[in-house]
Structure 1
Amino acid sequence: MFIRPGFVVVIVGITLTSLSTIVVAMRYYCRWYRMGIIGATDHLMMVALILTWGNTVVNYYQDETSRKFRPSYFRRPDKRPQFETALRGTLITWYVYRLTYGVALCFVKLSILFFYRAIASHRAFRRMVYYTIGFVVLYTVGSTIAAAFQCENPAHSWDTSGYLAQFDGNPKTKKPHFKCYDPTKLWVFTAAINLFTDVLILLLPIPTLLGLRVPMTKRLALIGIFSVGIMAIVASCVRMWVMALWSESPQNSARFGADLLLWGQVETNSGIISASVPFLRLFFRRNDRREPEKGVAPAPRKEISPPKPVHTDNKPLQIDSMAFFGPGEDGEDTGPNGSPGWKPFITVPASLSSRGSGMLEPTNAHTTV
């Protein structure tokens, strides 16, 4: 029984995003009902989850539109009126996906970094967190703008006549004068940057955690909690490998297109889950949110701001992260250059309904997925 690779992407995306939804819901429960605190880190993760559901919906329409035609029809002008509408839909969905995928990853990373910001008291650590936040925001904005303007006129990105003109063997055929650039190098570069920032975010708190003046068991437990994000790095590594295969040739871009989408889902959802799982340990703690006694007015809730940086002057590193461990020994909580080269070029994904369908693509036109 043959199952379309695009359909597999949809099923995996729905399954993983549903699991992420459950984990984020439990995170909100623990943060509010167990700690009485919900902050920017939680809301940023919720935005990432919403964008990931958006990507899952886009994956569904990518499969629905691409399965209505075969790449072999691209060279047959008599067949084009039958699938031109579906082809336009495919182009639009891929255009949207290229924009939203990177933004979703950005919000996952910002959620983690804002959590680091909230628990850091060491000046050097906080400064590194701010630098990383700025870097993640800047490269995401830059790559998103570059993806949006793949063509000088963005509407040309989903113009079917521009794409189909690449498959006309008759040199007398009049081709549209579109100015687009091949974004393959951009996507490979952004995939490498995503992997780099994943590793950086994982390693960022380790020196501070190692310098804590707490028992070694608690120190190692904290490192273990922060190291849960390694599964997102593994997914990012696999997607980077698939991206390298996908970018080698037009044939490979059609062959590995579905795999690229699938590992994109795995990467994003792994980041959401691994960044939220550490908060779920609060299920096994007593409720730290104390209800006011009957007849006693509740105390006004105070806004909790990140701790101020402190001068260490050769003192051991400190981090306000003991909320992970609950009450301390004394019974009190410790607290929580150049523009792109424009040229006649337009990119479009091949069908997701079968593998190896990219053999029909001309060698001088890179069909992107």
Structure 2
Amino acid sequence: MYLRPGTVVVIVGATLTGLSTVIVGLRYYCRHFLMGSVGPSDHLMFVALVLTWGNFVVNYYQDQTSGRFRPSFLRDPAKRPGIEASVRGSLISWWVYRMGYNLALCFVKLSILFFYRAIASHRTFRRFVYATIGFVCVYTFGVTVASAFQCENPSDSWNTTGYFSQFDRDPTTKRPKFKCYDPIRLWVFSAAVNLLSDVIILLLPIPALLSLRVPMSKRLALIGIFSIGIMAIIASSIRMWVMYLWSQSPSASARYGGDLLLWGVVETNSGIISASVPFLRLLFVGRQKEERGVTQRRLDASPPKPMGQAGLSINQPLEKPHEIDTWALFETEKKSGEGSPGWQPFITVPESLNSGSRGSTLLEPAQLPHSTV
């Protein structure tokens, strides 16, 4: 069965955006009910999800309008009057999509960066995070404004007369004079900067994670969790290649437009999913603790050893020391303004004291045991 590219975009968009909605919902559940702390990074991701649904609606409208004509109709002046309304709708949807796509990616990146800011106390690392936040905000603002004002009069962006004139093979055809710039350079630049910022955000915490004084296996596990975002980088790289093909000519733009939208959907949802999945570990922490508690109760209920056996060694600890859980960095976001001058970039707390119950993030170092790495 043949499916038009626009239909594939709609199906993939509905599937991935629906999956992103479920994962973000579980993230809120973990953060609010299991941890008792919902921060700015969660709200920023929610805004990114709303914008992604908005882009899905735009993509659906693009599929409905572009499905009413074939690319070959654009070269036939006799068929243009019958498809003019559909072409205008498609051009308007593209104009809206360019702004919504960049804004959605911006909020995904800001969510990740605000999470970095919350768990980092090292001054140099925090400065890099703030600089990256500023960079993402500035270039997103610039690209969004430039997309909105591609033409001096924004309505000229969806003027069908100017669009049809690109497909006229007669060089003597009189084309309308609009004050518009060629948007291809802007879109290629935007795709390249998005890819660059994805790589920077992925690499930003790696030096701090490598410097942790914990076993190498835990360091590699943490790096693996943070590296889930490589999925978004792969999608962004493929979209960059499709962008190159799409920008070759007006005919190529019509041919690869669906592929460009498809990989934009994959890129945005990959960022949302990869940035939210690490928080879902809290769903399994409680189960592991419950099973550990059952095992401990069974050990405590075992019959005492008969008299005459060797007693406790003088060097044997009377109490089992707290187990340090490095994963707690996902559960110890600091409140704005609270300082921890003696703590290093990432903080660990005893596993028995972390997010198994509400309010567990409000640990006071002076009263409860803690360890810094």
User: Could you say whether these structures have the same fold, taking a TM-score greater than 0.5 normalized by the shorter chain as the test?
Assistant: yes
SS of equivalent to 2:335:
coil
Residue 106 and residue 244 in structure 1: after superposition, are their counterparts in 2 closer, same or farther (change >3 A)?
A: same
- Cα distance change, pair 74–224 in 1 and its aligned pair in 2 (3 A): closer
Partner of 2:103: helix, strand, or coil?
A: helix
Deviation string 1:56-83 (CA, Å, 9 cap, x unpaired) is: 1111111100111223333444322211
Q: 1:110-121 residue pairs with structure 2 within 5 A?
A: 110-121=110-121
Structure 1 residues 333, 7: CA separation in 2 closer, same or farther (over 3 Å shift)? Answer: farther
Alignment of 1:1-369 (within 5 A): 1-168=1-168, 174-286=174-286, 304-305=335-336, 308=339, 310=341, 318-322=344-348, 327=353
SS state of the match for residue 202, structure 1? helix
Query: Percent of aligned positions with the same letter in both sequences?
Result: 66
Who wins on radius of gyration, i.e. which is larger?
Answer: 2
Distance 1:172 1:209 in 2: 64
Please give the secondary structure, in 2, of the residue aligned with 1:276: helix
| 3-state secondary structure, aligned to 1:36 | coil
Q: Is the 8 A contact 1:151 1:180 kept in 2?
A: yes
Measure the CA separation in 2 of the matches of 1:324 and 1:274.
Answer: 27
1:131-151 C-alpha deviation (Å, 9 max, x unpaired): 000000000011111111111
Higher relative CO (Cα under 8 Å, sequence separation at least 6) belongs to 1
Contact 1:245–1:256, Cα closer than 8 Å, also in 2? yes
Partners of 1:2 and 1:280 lie apart in 2 by 38
Instruction: After TM superposition, give the deviation of residue 187 of structure 1 in Å.
Output: 1.0
Q: 1:208 touches 1:318 (CA, 8 Å); kept in 2? A: no
Instruction: Decide whether the 8 Å contact of 2:120 with 2:126 is kept in 1.
Output: yes
* 1:352 match: none
* SS of match in other structure, 2:3: coil
CA contact (8 A) 1:117 1:306 kept: no
Q: Secondary structure at the match of 1:319?
A: coil
Cα offsets for 1:44-65 (capped at 9, x unmatched): 0000001111111111111100
SS of residue matched to 1:93: helix
Report what 2:357 is aligned to: none
2 CA distance for matches of 1:142 and 1:326? 48
> Could you tell me how far 1:128 is from its partner in structure 2?
0.1
With the length of structure 1 as denominator, give the TM-score of the two structures. Answer: 0.79
Cα displacement (A) at 1:241: 1.6
Shift of residue 152, structure 1, vs aligned partner: 1.1
The 3 A distance-change label for structure 1 pair 100 and 231 is same
Deviations 1:81-122 (A, max 9, x none): 211111110110000001110110000000000000000000
Specify the code of the residue in structure 2 equivalent to 1:82. G
Aligned length: 314
Structure 1 residues not aligned, in runs of 5+: 288-302, 336-369
CA distance in 1: counterparts of 2:276 and 2:116, whole angstroms: 13
Residue type at the aligned position of 2:114: F
Write the deviation string for residues 266-307 of structure 1: whole angstroms up to 9, x where unpaired. Answer: 1000000000000000001239xxxxxxxxxxxxxxx92265
Please give the per-residue CA displacement for 1:255-274, whole angstroms capped at 9, x wherever unaligned.
22211111111100000000
- Cα distance in 2 for partners of 1:325, 1:274 equals 25
User: SS of the residue aligned with 1:322?
Assistant: strand
Give the superposition deviation at 1:254.
Answer: 2.4
Aligned counterparts of 1:76 and 1:195: Cα–Cα separation in 2: 38
Structure 1 residues 143 and 33 mapped into 2: Cα distance closer, same or farther (>3 Å)? same
Q: Deviations over 1:290-344 (max 9, x none)?
A: xxxxxxxxxxxxx92265475x8xxxx822343796648x985769xxxxxxxxx
Q: 1:125 to 1:46 in 2, by over 3 A?
A: same
Change (3 A) 1:12 1:226: same
Q: CA deviation at 1:231?
A: 1.2
CA displacement 1:226-265 (0-9 Å, x = unmatched): 1111111111111112112222333332222211111111
- RMSD between aligned alpha carbons? 2.4
